[in-house]
Copies of this chain bind each other. A is one copy, B any other.
């Protein structure tokens, strides 16, 4: 290869990442994974994991290659996968087996398996069959992609993303009833919902705003392939939730979960994971409940939509006393959603 040419592995892996992203929000409790099979600069087949219980990305890509009539070229090809291929029997047989059977000659993957019991196992198995293995290509991007899943596997509870919209003086409302967020920022908020397994609010939010918590992006609406995320309401008293609220009466009412008298948020999160397979939890609650999540260190990721307004309304982001815990925000992205600015990053 010419020294001046861009790194081919990098480019193909980014295609696999692109495919994997399509699965964000639909694969839980599995991770989103994408795969591309390439030979001599051409894509033989590609695919991504869509829904738990269905084929993994590697098998989707191999099937796709066969469907395109490219089976004959698989020998000598390279498969790019965003995550280390699974090597153990789950709901489906291991992908290492599929790769070996297909005759693929080289495997390049991005993120290593976060489960220490499996990590590196794929390399061993594949190499034992004479297959060349490389990993860490676009490693960071691939790791971010499976970060919520890796977290949930390790901690047995969801990755929690808190999303707030504030004025520049830290208020969550305006003095009148107008929206705080710009149309672009609202689209981004709906994208976050589409990438979540569940959206959590407090009873107060339901009583005050009667939100639908549905996905209203043109790209991703609830469908047989993407269910409406669970809508979880935390309340002291179930009867305080109006019986005619949208969450209890709209066509997704079966996706609403009301949790009463939750005394331990961490235990609640563990239950949401074990019982409903929730990996990506989106917090859209008000300041009171947010405080509890923040002070108990239960928020992993933070998305703050800052509206270009100084002099917000009565609801401060942190009502009353200051937070008992200081978190460090490690910024990963600044989005210009004119005229809003969205900061997205990790809380440490």
Interface residues of A (CB under 8 A from B): 166, 168-171, 174-175, 294, 302, 304, 306, 308-314, 316-318, 322-331, 334, 339, 341, 343, 345, 347
Q: How far is the CA of A308 from the CA of B345 in the complex (A)?
A: 10
Q: How far is the CA of A67 from the CA of B241 in the complex (A)?
A: 83
Q: Is the Cβ of B345 less than 8 Å from the Cβ of A326?
A: no
Q: Is the Cβ of A166 less than 8 Å from the Cβ of B175?
A: no
- For residue A347, which residues in chain B have a CB less than 8 angstroms away from its CB? 310
Q: Is the Cβ of B331 less than 8 Å from the Cβ of A339?
A: yes
A282 to B: closest C-beta gap in Å: 17
A84 to B: closest C-beta gap in Å: 32
Q: How far is the CA of A339 from the CA of B328 in the complex (A)?
A: 10
**Extra contacts besides A171-B322, A308-B330, A309-B329 (8): CB < 8 Å:** A169-B318, A294-B311, A310-B329, A310-B347, A311-B318, A311-B327, A312-B322, A316-B322
Q: A310-B326, A323-B310, A328-B309 are in contact. Are A304 and B168 (CB under 8 A)?
A: yes
Q: Is the Cβ of B345 less than 8 Å from the Cβ of A328?
A: no
Q: Which of A309, A312, A316, A322 has the most CB of B within 10 A?
A: A322
Q: Which of A308, A312, A313, A343 has the most CB of B within 10 A?
A: A308
Q: Which 10 A-B pairs have the closest CB atoms?
A: A170-B170, A311-B323, A308-B329, A311-B326, A310-B327, A169-B318, A311-B325, A169-B317, A311-B327, A314-B322
- For residue A327, which residues in chain B have a CB less than 8 angstroms away from its CB? 309-311
Return 9 A-B CB contacts under 8 Å, by A number.
A168-B343, A169-B322, A170-B170, A174-B326, A294-B311, A309-B327, A311-B318, A312-B323, A331-B339
Q: Is the Cβ of A328 less than 8 Å from the Cβ of B304?
A: no
CB-nearest residue of chain B to A314: B322
CB-nearest residue of chain B to A176: B326
- For residue A339, which residues in chain B have a CB less than 8 angstroms away from its CB? 330-331
Q: Which of A170, A304, A306, A324 has the most CB of B within 10 A?
A: A170
Q: A294-B310, A311-B294, A322-B312 are in contact. Are A166 and B171 (CB under 8 A)?
A: no
- For residue A175, which residues in chain B have a CB less than 8 angstroms away from its CB? 322, 326
Q: How far is the CA of A211 from the CA of B328 in the complex (A)?
A: 27
Q: Is the Cβ of A313 less than 8 Å from the Cβ of B322?
A: yes
Q: How far is the CA of A327 from the CA of B326 in the complex (A)?
A: 29
- For residue A169, which residues in chain B have a CB less than 8 angstroms away from its CB? 170, 317-318, 322-323
Q: Is the Cβ of A322 less than 8 Å from the Cβ of B326?
A: no
A161 to B: closest C-beta gap in Å: 14
Q: Is the Cβ of A316 less than 8 Å from the Cβ of B170?
A: yes
Q: Is the Cβ of B341 less than 8 Å from the Cβ of A334?
A: yes
Q: How far is the CA of A322 from the CA of B327 in the complex (A)?
A: 25
Q: Which of A168, A318, A323 has the most CB of B within 10 A?
A: A168
Q: How far is the CA of A322 from the CA of B310 in the complex (A)?
A: 10
CB-nearest residue of chain B to A308: B329
A172 to B: closest C-beta gap in Å: 10
A118 to B: closest C-beta gap in Å: 34
Q: Which of A166, A175, A310, A347 has the most CB of B within 10 A?
A: A310
Q: How far is the CA of A304 from the CA of B306 in the complex (A)?
A: 12
Q: Is the Cβ of B310 less than 8 Å from the Cβ of A302?
A: yes
